């Protein structure tokens, strides 16, 4: 049931990313979502059983599913870490091709020595007492732990730098990555206990596997889908604020251009469709009228506050200078 649910979540994430990241130049997250969704689907009982029977019924279908998951995690790490301007050498190495290639070679090499038996949907429970099977599993989950640890470090930095709704996606990624590392530790512990013949320890630790597995993928999916969704919400919020400021500045702008006619007398119709451009033009021409000694145009304290608020909005929320409004424009003429 859990693999089927995780598979459904991953395909839902794929659909969400195709919609929310439409036209986005960075494709690694989309590649990761598709590859991991395929891997999760191959690991569902409903797909795995007939596929493995076609492959000879010796659990050979496990290998492409697990390699696909490793490649998906590789793209995941590349996509997340590319969003960071500051990356340590360890983070770059963790998400690099060298680590992935070594992990895949080690996993495939170990798999070749496993006595696959007959088709089973409990691969590690049935075959995990073989040293080659234990090594196969530990190589995979060590790789996942390495990549997810690097992702957790990046997500933690993003949480510190973000605010408001933008803080939610990296928080989800941070918790999901930490849970993924814990999941890897649980699996490696199970593998070691199985190889050592301590089945009671293996079963005790296995209790944490299913909830960690599910929560890891849920939180990672929320984090990745949440990033473009949060940006879209923020963009819509910014557009609403821009249009509101344009409307509030309209009377002041009309008075300024009446006192000092500018380029907008001939271009208002063409720039009206772009609220950001229109707001910039309003501020520039109001500022020009204020500082032009040839015309008489005065603003009161409320108008100064409105102009400065509009400037801060265009500058992305950064504080403007505290010098008197008439002394110099924050936004220069274009």
Angle between helices 45-54 and 62-82 (to 10 degrees): 130
pLDDT of residue 25: 54
Q: pTM value?
A: 0.73
Whole-number Å distance between alpha carbons of 12 and 92? 29
Q: Where are the domains of the chain?
A: 2-235, 260-314
Q: Concatenated DSSP letters for 178-206?
A: HHHHHHHHHHHHHHHHHHTT-HHHHHHHH
Angle at 177 between CA 174 and CA 180, to 5 degrees: 150
Dump strand ranges (E) for the chain. Answer: none
End-to-end CA distance of the chain: 61
Angle between helices 45-54 and 28-42 (to 10 degrees): 80
Per-residue pLDDT of the chain (334 residues; tens, 9 = 90+): 677 888 888 888 888 777 766 656 567 888 888 999 999 999 899 999 999 999 999 999 999 999 999 999 999 888 776 666 666 777 778 878 899 999 999 999 999 999 988 999 889 989 999 999 999 999 999 999 999 998 898 888 888 887 777 788 889 999 999 999 999 999 999 999 999 999 999 999 999 999 999 899 889 888 877 766 666 667 777 888 888 988 888 888 888 888 777 655 545 444 455 788 888 888 888 888 888 777 777 788 888 888 888 888 888 744 333 333 333 333 433 3
Nearest residue to 65 (alpha-carbon basis) of 37, 42, 95, 91? 42
Whole-number Å distance between alpha carbons of 213 and 208? 8
CA–centroid distance for 257 within its chain: 45
pLDDT of residue 37: 92
Nearest residue to 103 (alpha-carbon basis) of 112, 92, 94, 113? 94
Is residue 28 within 8 A of residue 84, CB to CB? The reply is no
Is residue 107 within 8 A of residue 66, CB to CB? The reply is yes
2-235 fold: Rhopdopsin 7-helix transmembrane proteins (1.20.1070)
Is residue 283 within 8 A of residue 308, CB to CB? The reply is no
State the alpha helices, DSSP H only, in 95-206.
97-111, 123-127, 131-161, 168-195, 199-206
Residue 302 class from Cβ within 10 Å (0-12 exposed, 13-18 middle, 19+ buried)? exposed
Is residue 43 within 8 A of residue 72, CB to CB? The reply is no
Whole-number Å distance between alpha carbons of 307 and 249? 8
């Amino acid at each position: 049931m859990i693999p089927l649910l995780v598979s459904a979540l991953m395909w839902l994430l794929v659909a969400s990313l195709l919609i929310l990241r439409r036209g986005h130049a960075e494709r690694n997250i989309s590649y990761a979502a598709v590859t991991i969704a395929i891997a999760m689907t191959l690991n569902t009982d409903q797909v795995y059983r007939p596929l493995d029977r076609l492959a000879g019924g010796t659990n050979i279908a496990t290998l492409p599913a697990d390699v696909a998951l490793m490649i998906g995690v590789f793209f995941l790490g590349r996509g997340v870490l590319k969003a960071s301007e500051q990356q340590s050498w360890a983070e770059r190495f963790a998400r690099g091709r060298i680590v992935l290639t070594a992990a895949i070679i080690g996993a495939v090499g170990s798999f070749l020595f496993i006595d696959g038996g007959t088709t089973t949907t409990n691969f590690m429970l049935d075959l995990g007492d073989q040293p080659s099977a234990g090594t196969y599993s530990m190589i995979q989950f060590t790789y996942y732990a390495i990549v997810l640890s690097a992702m957790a470090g990046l997500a933690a930095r993003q949480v510190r730098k973000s605010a408001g709704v933008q803080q939610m996606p990296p928080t989800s990624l941070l918790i999901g990555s930490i849970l993924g590392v814990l999941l890897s530790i649980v699996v490696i512990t199970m593998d070691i206990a199985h190889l050592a013949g301590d089945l009671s320890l293996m079963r005790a630790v296995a209790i944490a596997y299913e909830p960690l597995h599910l929560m890891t993928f849920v939180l990672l999916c929320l984090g990745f889908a949440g990033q473009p969704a949060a940006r879209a919400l923020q963009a819509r919020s910014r557009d609403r604020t821009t249009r509101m400021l344009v409307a509030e500045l309209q009377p002041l702008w009309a008075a300024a251009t009446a006192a000092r006619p500018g380029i907008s007398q001939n271009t208002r119709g063409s720039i009206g469709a772009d609220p950001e451009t229109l707001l910039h033009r309003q501020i520039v021409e109001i500022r020009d009228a204020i500082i032009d000694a040839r015309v008489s145009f005065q603003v009161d304290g409320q108008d100064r506050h409105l102009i400065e608020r509009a400037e801060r909005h265009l500058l992305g929320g950064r504080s403007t200078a505290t010098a008197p409004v008439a002394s110099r424009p924050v936004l220069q003429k274009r």
